[in-house]
């Protein structure tokens, strides 16, 4: 299939490469010359603009930073890219954005005879490279079946969350829980270690007890507990504090709209914001433990 892939960053680059390796013909584009050069080195064809990437495309995939980028691209000046996309084309947006923005773009797309679906991902850059991402899809069943053969080349799990926007909602619920769990795990680890407990022993006790969770399983925020976790690599790589902050912001915006009560999500957002202001925005989000540790 001929695919226009727009947004070749940490996630989009390797996702596009996996589609290319599966035999699809990709016309890729990114505003960043560096991202384009990296993708070209991996064998992708780079278009001169998003519009040029559309030429002959039967599907369009976007992997952009935030709501404003997706809305700007598709609905921006002069009607945006939607006006240039051929009727009947499938558009898959895998960016993590507000559900309301996905629904707004999908509505405009529908009026033009274009299938726009949201398919945000979980699994990080490792999952993007390995092709093992989890997709949370907001679409009709028929639209999901159209997208499935492409999603299968980039991911290992595909969930149908509901109609358009539902993928985004599932994504922010999961990341709100993850953000809260990481802070809770950090508090418990910091308290135990301050009392003289060996971090590995404490981590193992909690992992096998009622406090067990994903962070204790494979992503402990305390350095040295999990050899491959960002905490053991100076909090490099992984999922950045600023990305977690963005997702918690989306969760709080949504909670306000829904008049939902998410007190721990709100507190978690405030703690990650303070941590980011302290200069840790680019570090993995598990570095939030630094806010909670006793100084040496
Ligand atoms: P990134 O910043 O590395 O990549 C985004 C790319 O989009 C950049 O290269 C940028 O130049 C490009 N871009 C922006 N506007 C554009 C436009 N109008 N046209 C063409 N290119 C444009 O971000 P990322 O880490 O790849 O994340 C992408 C999305 O995936 C985000 O919404 C993020 O929240 C989500 N996500 C990221 C991770 C992760 O671990 N990095 C995990 C899950 C989900």
Q: What do you get for the CA distance between the two ends of the chain, in Å?
A: 57
pLDDT band with cut points at 50, 70 and 90 for residue 2: very high
Domain with CATH 3.40.50.720 in the chain: 2-163
Residue 14 beta carbon below 6 angstroms from any ligand 1 atom = no
pLDDT, average across residues 38-46: 97
d(CA 128, CA 94): 12
How does DSSP assign 255-279, residue by residue? HHHHT---HHHHHHHHHHHHHIIII
pLDDT, average across residues 10-22: 97
CA 57–ligand 1 middle distance (angstroms)? 21
State pLDDT tens for residues 74-103. Answer: 999 877 999 999 999 999 999 999 999 999
Domain with CATH 1.10.1040.10 in the chain: 169-291
CA 273–ligand 1 middle distance (angstroms)? 20
According to the model, what pLDDT value does residue 243 have?
93
CATH 3.40.50.300 fits 2-163, yes or no: no
Q: Considering the chain, what is the average pLDDT of its residues?
A: 97
According to the model, what pLDDT value does residue 155 have?
98
CA 115–ligand 1 middle distance (angstroms)? 22
Q: Measure Cα distances from 57 to 4, 5, 10, 47, 112 in Å.
A: 6, 10, 23, 12, 16
Residue 243 beta carbon below 6 angstroms from any ligand 1 atom = yes
Which residue's CA is the closest to the ligand 1 atom numbered 8? 9
pLDDT, average across residues 223-251: 95
pLDDT, average across residues 12-17: 98
- How many residues would you count in the chain? 296
Q: Ligand 1: which of 4, 10, 124 to mutate, most ligand atoms within 8 Å of CB?
A: 10
Residues assigned a catalytic role: 171
How does DSSP assign 90-150, residue by residue? EEEE-S---HHHHHHHHHHHHHTT-EEEE--EESHHHHHHHT-EEEEEES-HHHHHHHHHH
Asked if 238 contacts 284 with a C-beta cutoff of 8 angstroms, the reply is: yes
State pLDDT tens for residues 111-153. Answer: 999 999 999 999 988 899 999 999 999 999 999 999 999 999 9
State pLDDT tens for residues 273-290. Answer: 999 999 999 999 999 999
pLDDT, average across residues 252-264: 97
CATH fold, domain 169-291, is 1.10.1040
């Amino acid at each position: 299939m001929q695919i226009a892939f727009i947004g070749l960053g940490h996630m989009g680059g390797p996702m596009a490469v996996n589609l290319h390796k599966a035999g699809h013909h990709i016309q890729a584009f990114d505003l960043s010359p560096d991202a384009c050069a990296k993708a070209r080195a991996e064998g992708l064809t780079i278009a001169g603009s998003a519009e040029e990437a559309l030429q002959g495309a039967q599907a369009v995939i976007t992997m952009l930073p935030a709501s404003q980028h997706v809305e700007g691209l598709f609905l921006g000046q002069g009607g945006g890219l939607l006006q240039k996309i051929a009727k009947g084309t499938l558009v898959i947006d895998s960016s993590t954005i507000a559900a309301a923005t996905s629904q707004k773009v999908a509505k405009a797309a529908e009026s033009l005879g274009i299938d726009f679906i949201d398919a945000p991902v979980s699994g990080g850059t490792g999952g993007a490279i390995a092709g093992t991402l989890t997709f949370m899809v907001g679409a009709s069943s028929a639209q999901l079946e159209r997208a499935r053969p492409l999603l299968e080349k980039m991911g290992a799990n595909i969930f149908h969350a509901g109609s358009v926007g539902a993928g985004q909602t599932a994504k922010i619920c999961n990341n709100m829980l993850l953000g809260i769990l990481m802070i809770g795990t950090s508090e418990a680890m910091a308290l135990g270690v301050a009392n003289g407990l060996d971090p590995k022993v404490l981590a193992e006790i909690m992992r096998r007890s009622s406090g067990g969770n994903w962070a204790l399983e494979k992503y402990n925020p305390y350095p040295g507990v999990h050899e491959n976790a960002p905490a053991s690599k100076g909090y490099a790589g992984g999922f950045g504090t600023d990305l977690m902050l963005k997702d918690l912001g989306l969760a709080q915006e949504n909670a306000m709209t829904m008049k939902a009560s998410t007190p721990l999500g709100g507190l978690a957002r405030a703690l990650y914001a303070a941590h980011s202001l302290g200069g840790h925005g680019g570090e993995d989000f598990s570095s939030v433990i630094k806010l909670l540790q006793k100084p040496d």
